Amino acid sequence: MILAIDAGNTRIKAAVFEGSIVLEDFVFLKIELQKNIKNILKKYQKTTHLVISSVSDLEKLAFSAFENIVKVHFVSHNDVFPFTNDYKTPQTLGIDRMVLAAGATLQFPNQNRLVIDAGTCVTYDFVDESNHYLGGAIAPGLGMRYKALHDYTAKLPLLELENPKQYIGQSTSESIHSGVVNGLVYEIDGFIDEYKAKYSNFIIILTGGDTVFLAKRLKNTIFANSNFLLESLNQTFQYKINND
């Protein structure tokens, strides 16, 4: 069994895998890390590896207490990946983006793939049908957009995510919801349309914390899976074991 850990900017997501099957998944805060991993390993005592993808300030020391129970592996740029990395600055490419690209490559062979991860940030990552990672884009996520409107203005309120009642906001709150939500939806659809205009044989994968909220609002056909990063982390580690 493998315990996969996705240490994001705001929270920790984890899942226990037996082969390619998810036995159970979890979501918790960083401060709950030690307690939750201890409980998971106690419940799933056949776990042999702890595999971590981290974009946060979470240090390896946080996992050192478990090294006498399981083998701990932080995915890094030095690992073997199933694609050719054509990014101009490969060492600056986020590990989470590399893992998503690897998962898309392994799960959807011989296709052009665009992975959209909608979390704290929205990342776009493109791997062509020849398994070349070409790059993508990084943009603010929904929560960051709401917070920016509040933090960088004198009077706009900080709102929680809400479905816009209509396209034309008839109050300040309605206008903010329309601008934030519709703005990101149009952005995502716009990116997809640009890629589709240039590439055929195409699949779009939407993942991340805001997957469910966004998926039904997009005009484009997508494959939505909020746990795609964890599944990709498991697949990437399996690929490393078989190809090292």
Helix (H) or strand (E) holding 112: strand 112-118
CA–CA distances in Å: residue 161 to residues 47, 116, 140, 223: 37, 19, 14, 23
Name the phi and psi angles at 192, rounded to 5.
Answer: -60, -45
Name the phi and psi angles at 19, rounded to 5.
Answer: 65, -125
Rounded to the nearest angstrom, the gap between the alpha carbon of residue 71 and the centroid of all alpha carbons in its chain is 24
Q: Examine the residue annotation and report whether 210 is marked as an active-site residue of this protein.
A: no
Q: Choosing from 6, 25, 86, 96, which is the catalytic residue?
A: 96
- Least Cα distance to 53 among 75, 35, 34 occurs for 75
Q: Which amino acid is at 11?
A: R
Based on the number of CB atoms within 10 Å of its own CB, is 72 exposed (0-12), middle (13-18) or buried (19 or more)? middle
User: Residue 203 has which token pair?
Assistant: 């699949």
Please identify every residue annotated as catalytic: 96
